[in-house]
Amino acid sequence: MINLSHYQQLFDIENTTERCKKVNDTMDQFWKTELDQLAMRLIGEDYRIATYGQTLITTYHDSINPKYAEQKKDTSIGKKYFAQIVRKIGEKEISLLTLEFNGIEQQMYIYTELSFYQVHELFKTGRQQILNGMDSSLKVFTKTSTFKRSEVERSVLEHTILEMVKPRTRHGMIFGIAISLEGMYETSAIVDLLGETWKLTASLRNYAIEHKKSSARVEHIMNLIGAVETPYTATLLGNVYQIHYGSAVNEKSGERIEEFVLKRDGQTIVQGNFNYREYEVRTGLSRPMLGVNVEGHNHIYTNVEVLLGDNRKEWWLTKSFRTTNQNNEELKREAMDLLAQHGIEVHDNEYRIGTYDNAQLRFEEDHAEIKGRLALAALLFAHVAGRGKFKFFEKEALIHEDKSDKEILEDSKEMDEFNSNFDFSVIYESIQNCSLTFDKDVIRDLHLNITALDDKHFVILNGISGTGKTQLAKLYANAVYGLSYEEDNPYLSIIPVRPDWTDASALFGYYSSFEKRYMMTEFLKVLLHANEERMKPHFIVLDEMNLARVEYYLSDYLSGVESHKEITLHNRDDLDGIPSKIGIPPNIYLIGTINVDETTHTISDKVLDRAFVMTLSDVDLETFWSRVDDGVRVGLQNEFEFLMKLHRWLVPYNLHFGYRTMNEMIQKMSRHLALDVEHQVSKKTMLDRVISEKVLPKLRGDDRITELLKELREVFASHLGEESVSYSHIDRMEKELKRYGATQFWR
């Protein structure tokens, strides 16, 4: 004899830990055994008993863990228990019968469950007799939450289902009986109720099983496509590209997203994704759908279930265009012609992807070819639909009907002069041949940071002034194009950041109602050009980017990169050449340089989380010196060696200087030696001058630099003399430090 009221008392225990433990100890083994014996009689094999017990055990352990105890204290977890007969079909399990004790509603439920999509499918396909033929003793409930079940009258079930489609509040549906958790029941009576409900829900259960079997077969087909990871090589409009696939991720229940990118010579041209859906979301039908999207626009959306059958099924897809302000029939003809030109079989407005063999459970064609054709077709559709907006392919970016053959040839020559290459060996060799000095580790790190992600290229270079941050950015960008540091690179823009940049208009411009025109910026020009020439990487260097608050003026850019959504520029219809919205294409490479001092702002985590941050403080002055002109090195060797010693003394205090300072000091001393002898001073005097003018002005600190000042005073006295300018500065600073506890070069 079972006292259902006793179960309710277990659910009413206030202590979460005690409640979970007692509910589990009381329920789990008992009902698991009873349901197992029932299933053995009803089914005989091919089932499993699943209970809520494991979740209760986990919650119990969490609730006694100090880390989780407080947040678990007032939850409703442990106020429900269920045991189910389940069967595995394909890779997923289906619940055939559930016994649920609901402590919140104080009800015992026995039911078979269908998803919203399965019930909706019955009505939409005219098979509602499965529902209409249910015994009148069975009730219908919606699972509106973990604990709440709302009864639905049988007469309004169809209306209720249809009402859920538009707002997409698509709750599961349960069909069975409900008994209040009170009174005494024989165990055999509850088991009889389970058996009776099993019989009465047979048609629903059989439908659910067949539906799940069909879904499993479709899921297998989608998995065949999704499992392809090998890049696909495609020739588009005469140029060779590679399609690279990412890993599929579960965005939400019943949907997987797998990204892909179109690349050429390592440069990402276009981004897209495969969307594997268990249900047709827009209509709410229980149809497994495969979508292929390019840059946020859907170009293929098909029901994969059409491939199911007993024999071979050819996979023909239909394409239509629904663009505004364009001739959609003309677009369709152009798209079909392009597909045929690229080796895809076409018939009217249909195109063939491949043939599926239901007996062998595989495509007759190589699965990499099937997936490649889907991606290729979507890219060509995007190309046709874009009509200038999506200029993915090099020929389209160059050749226009209104240009003469001579102009086209000149454009081709100009583009041929600038060919990008992200091969690190080539980049490193190019940089090594430059007069600037950067360690291989630094170059490699920058290369990986800026190319590791297909859609986000953002690096922040931090370090003391003069370490070559901007030069490194320019050096790398030029090396990608095979250019020397000194050569002009039309695909590199160095933009100095101004302290008055307070919002996104500093980068994206704005419409001036006073001047009646759009105020263009260098940053926006690069974005527009990058969207035109997707083949070419476009580098932007935001120099001293933290002179203004980065999160203020860069927020729209970061959001656009992260969300892949377009950024609104204006809402006017009378502007030519400036689109109302603009996306951040994947061929934009953003490098920011920062210095940290009293004139700059700290950078927020929002920005740091979206960037690779590199610190350039170490400088290789020896290698730098080896690349200086031989005549200069002979004349200034002793002076350079003294500056190197000075640099080493300053390094532990982070007061050292970089390439720029060393170069400018060497340049001044070299120019001095070029003067007529009668106008020269001693080399020692000139060394004193450059040190006092380029190195000492940055000296400042508290008692932590006491030893440094003492050492510098002694060195300057012995090498430059006590009458030197540098010695007088250090002597004064040392006295100020003793008196005030802090000092600086400036008086």
Write the pLDDT tens digit of every residue in 269-306: 888 999 999 888 778 888 899 999 998 889 999 999 99
Among 457, 482, 473, CA closest to 587: 457
pLDDT at residue 79 greater than cutoff 60: yes
Phi, psi of 41 (to 5 degrees): -75, -40
The per-residue pLDDT for 623 is: 81
* Residue 698 to residue 650: CA distance in whole angstroms: 11
pLDDT range class, residue 395, cuts 50, 70, 90: very low
The per-residue pLDDT for 397 is: 41
CA atoms within 13 A of residue 710's CA, in its CB half-sphere: 6
The per-residue pLDDT for 251 is: 65
Bridge-based pairing state of the strands 588-594 and 458-462: parallel
Bridge-based pairing state of the strands 249-252 and 239-245: unpaired
The per-residue pLDDT for 467 is: 79
pLDDT at residue 346 greater than cutoff 80: yes
CB 103 within 8 A of CB 181: yes
pLDDT at residue 152 greater than cutoff 70: yes
Helix (H) or strand (E) holding 684: helix 683-694
The per-residue pLDDT for 19 is: 87
The per-residue pLDDT for 527 is: 95
Q: Residue 683 burial by CB count (10 A; 0-12/13-18/19+): exposed, middle or buried?
A: middle
pLDDT range class, residue 399, cuts 50, 70, 90: very low
pLDDT range class, residue 398, cuts 50, 70, 90: very low
Integer angstrom CA distances of residue 357 from 221, 222, 315: 10, 14, 11
Average pLDDT value for residue range 371-394: 79
pLDDT at residue 464 greater than cutoff 90: no
Average pLDDT value for residue range 127-133: 89
The strand pairing partners of 88, in sequence order, are 93
pLDDT at residue 386 greater than cutoff 80: no
The per-residue pLDDT for 393 is: 56
Burial code of 306-330, b = ≥16 C-beta within 10 A, e = fewer? ebeeeeeeebebebebeeeeeeeee
Integer angstrom CA distances of residue 269 from 197, 208, 385, 483: 58, 44, 17, 22
Q: Is 220 helix (H, G, I), strand (E, B) or coil?
A: helix
Average pLDDT value for residue range 724-746: 92
CB 73 within 8 A of CB 94: no
* Residue 437 to residue 625: CA distance in whole angstroms: 9
- Strand runs labelled E in 181-284: 184-185, 232-236, 239-245, 249-252, 255-264, 267-277
CB 516 within 8 A of CB 568: no
The per-residue pLDDT for 446 is: 94
Mean pLDDT, the chain, as a whole number? 88
CB 648 within 8 A of CB 711: no
Bridge-based pairing state of the strands 510-512 and 517-519: antiparallel
The per-residue pLDDT for 415 is: 47
Convert the pLDDT of each residue in 530-553 to its tens digit: 988 888 999 999 999 999 999 999
* Residue 407 to residue 409: CA distance in whole angstroms: 5
Average pLDDT value for residue range 312-320: 95
CA atoms within 13 A of residue 640's CA, in its CB half-sphere: 20
The per-residue pLDDT for 485 is: 86
Average pLDDT value for residue range 695-711: 91
* Residue 548 to residue 539: CA distance in whole angstroms: 21
pLDDT at residue 205 greater than cutoff 80: yes
pLDDT range class, residue 409, cuts 50, 70, 90: very low
Structure letter (DSSP) for residue 247 = -
pLDDT at residue 325 greater than cutoff 50: yes
CB 720 within 8 A of CB 727: yes
pLDDT at residue 591 greater than cutoff 90: yes
pLDDT range class, residue 385, cuts 50, 70, 90: confident
Integer angstrom CA distances of residue 56 from 25, 408, 431, 492: 10, 72, 61, 59
Q: Which residue has the tokens 């994206």?
A: 508
Q: Which residue has the higher pLDDT, 166 or 470?
A: 470
pLDDT at residue 615 greater than cutoff 80: yes
pLDDT range class, residue 396, cuts 50, 70, 90: very low
pLDDT at residue 702 greater than cutoff 50: yes
Structure letter (DSSP) for residue 143 = E
pLDDT range class, residue 324, cuts 50, 70, 90: confident
pLDDT range class, residue 189, cuts 50, 70, 90: very high
Average pLDDT value for residue range 603-611: 90
Average pLDDT value for residue range 80-105: 93
